[in-house]
A = this chain, B = another copy of it.
Amino acid sequence: MGAGDPKDPRRRRLLTGGLGLGAALVAGRAGAGTGEGTPDPKITELQPWTAGPGVGVEANPYGQPVRFEAGVVRRNVPWFSADTISAVNFTPLQALDGTLTPNGLCFERNHAGVAEIPPEDYRLMIHGLVERPLVFTLGDLMRFPRESHSYFLECAANTGMEWRGPQMNGVQFTHGMIHNVNYTGVRLRHVLQAAGVKPAARWLLAEGADAAAMSRSIPLEKALDDCMIAFRMNGEALRAEQGYPVRLVVPGWEGNVWIKWLRRLKLGDAPWAQREETSKYTDLLADGTAREMSFVMEAKSVITSPAPENPITHGRGPLVISGLAWSGRGRIASVDVTLDGGVNWRAARLDGAAGPKALQRFYLDIDWDGRPLMLQSRAVDQTGYVQPTKEALRKLRGLNSAYHMNGTQTWAVDRDGGVTNVELG
């Protein structure tokens, strides 16, 4: 039983302490913003939202966030590319809790802008080493048996700016090239089997219908394992920027392989060496050679609060440390958190049991004494793989890579609760 366990008697003492949580006694010390002994006017005075009726139901047939959350949006970095059609929009991890990413806040990366395909014009062609080349409409695909699964999608370049040391002072930009969505669709293997995969086939080429004709080679073994052809995300139709009407889902593998606006699947006996698997999405090592086909996103974690965007504003006492962990090789087995830059580690509480290759929320509930912190989290996955330090990754791979940076992230918390992206010396 750790300090974060709600059944821990130490925590129970904190809770029954009441005022330790910052709550104000109704007839005694008042809440934030009012002087000692003054009754809280937010309680004693009639508030406008109670005094008169609110907004009617027809206001937004498709509901929108409340105006007070207008700052919770995806953000791009203007210097990333010359044009927004080949840019990236980062997920605001600092404002989210639980594990799901709402569709309106999902990281997006496009290579030739967002294709907008009327569903009746959608086609998927399967050809190459198959018995029967086939063309499917969207309606055809929806007649295979359906399944739903939650998976993370992480860009290979997520945290890539940090290879050379702390660059981005915010978790939205250090780790926001990721989302976690519940997909509904059909198994890729069922659709391939309809065309009849020939015995010589070893690789699959997946190609999108966007102007980049984004295409990647995928080993047939993976294609026949857990890949999906998805047409729903978090219950509703895919968003245009996520590949409407149909995308490929390649659980645990880098996001670039999850082809959006999927229009073509070709079976072959060798990979195709497309631009996005040779010039890009390879890892240039210190000796000048490059790792190719480094598909799997290895175990990683980050604390989302406190974070640069989420300073501690309530002073000492109970503090919820919250973060996310994930692994492209399966489930998260455990997450450790250090408050002192790696000298001591505590087991975080995993919230619920996330499925394999999905984001796992973790918490560590502590009693902050007001001293500076050097916060890190470290994920361990079901294979026993331990998230490495950034320094260990640099020793192995040098400094040339832009991809697959899954090292531990350090946030320095000062006495005032301010948080900065730093690295241990």
Expressed in whole angstroms, the minimum distance between the Cβ of A146 and any Cβ of chain B is 6
Interface centre among A58, A75, A196 (most CB of B within 10 A): A58
- A24 located at the interface, meaning its Cβ lies under 8 Å from any Cβ of chain B in the complex: yes
Complex-state Cα separation, A23 to B117, whole angstroms: 19
Residues of chain B within 8 A of A134, CB atoms compared: 18, 23-26
- A351 located at the interface, meaning its Cβ lies under 8 Å from any Cβ of chain B in the complex: yes
Expressed in whole angstroms, the minimum distance between the Cβ of A133 and any Cβ of chain B is 4
Residues of chain B within 8 A of A224, CB atoms compared: none
Complex-state Cα separation, A171 to B352, whole angstroms: 32
Residues A55 and B113 in contact, CB atoms below 8 Å apart? yes
Which of B196, B238, B314, B351 has a CB less than 8 Å from the CB of A147? B351
Which of B16, B103, B123 has a CB less than 8 Å from the CB of A31? B123
Residues B363 and A52 in contact, CB atoms below 8 Å apart? no
Complex-state Cα separation, A62 to B70, whole angstroms: 9
- A391 located at the interface, meaning its Cβ lies under 8 Å from any Cβ of chain B in the complex: no
A66-B116 in contact given A54-B110, A101-B235, A102-B103 (Cβ < 8 Å): yes
Question: Residue on B with the closest CB to A179?
Answer: B235
Residues B194 and A139 in contact, CB atoms below 8 Å apart? no
Residues A145 and B6 in contact, CB atoms below 8 Å apart? yes
Which of B53, B63, B74, B117 has a CB less than 8 Å from the CB of A112? B53
Residues A59 and B106 in contact, CB atoms below 8 Å apart? no
Which of B68, B85, B238, B320 has a CB less than 8 Å from the CB of A145? B320
Residues of chain B within 8 A of A147, CB atoms compared: 351-352
Q: Which chain A residues (304-319) contact chain B, with CB distance < 8 Å?
A: 313-314, 317-319
> Digit string of A112-135 for contact with B (CB within 8 Å is 1, else 0)?
111111111111010100001111
Which of B116, B236, B322 has a CB less than 8 Å from the CB of A102? B236
Residues of chain B within 8 A of A187, CB atoms compared: 6
- A424 located at the interface, meaning its Cβ lies under 8 Å from any Cβ of chain B in the complex: no
Residues B118 and A196 in contact, CB atoms below 8 Å apart? no
Expressed in whole angstroms, the minimum distance between the Cβ of A310 and any Cβ of chain B is 11
Complex-state Cα separation, A351 to B186, whole angstroms: 12
Residues of chain B within 8 A of A183, CB atoms compared: 98
Which of B27, B114, B146, B210 has a CB less than 8 Å from the CB of A363? B146
Q: Which chain A residues (321-369) contact chain B, with CB distance < 8 Å?
A: 322, 349, 351-352, 361, 363, 365
Residues B24 and A319 in contact, CB atoms below 8 Å apart? no
Which of B49, B64, B127, B144 has a CB less than 8 Å from the CB of A209? B49
Q: Which of A87-95, A152-160, A406-414 contacts B (4 or more CB under 8 A)?
A: A87-95
A209-B87 in contact given A103-B63, A137-B22 (Cβ < 8 Å): no
Interface centre among A43, A72, A122 (most CB of B within 10 A): A43
Residues of chain B within 8 A of A102, CB atoms compared: 102-103, 234-236
- A301 located at the interface, meaning its Cβ lies under 8 Å from any Cβ of chain B in the complex: no
Residues A132 and B25 in contact, CB atoms below 8 Å apart? yes
Residues of chain B within 8 A of A352, CB atoms compared: 147-149
Residues A97 and B148 in contact, CB atoms below 8 Å apart? yes
Residues A117 and B49 in contact, CB atoms below 8 Å apart? yes
Could you give 23 example pairs across A and B, Cβ below 8 Å?
A15-B194, A16-B196, A18-B195, A21-B144, A23-B134, A23-B140, A24-B136, A31-B135, A47-B209, A49-B211, A53-B85, A55-B116, A57-B74, A58-B76, A61-B75, A62-B72, A65-B239, A68-B245, A98-B183, A143-B314, A143-B319, A148-B352, A149-B352
The 6 A-B residue pairs with the shortest CB-CB distance, nearest first, are A56-B84, A54-B113, A61-B73, A26-B133, A49-B115, A98-B148
Q: A96-B236, A142-B320 are in contact. List 5 more A-B contacts (CB 8 A).
A: A33-B120, A57-B84, A58-B89, A65-B239, A143-B319
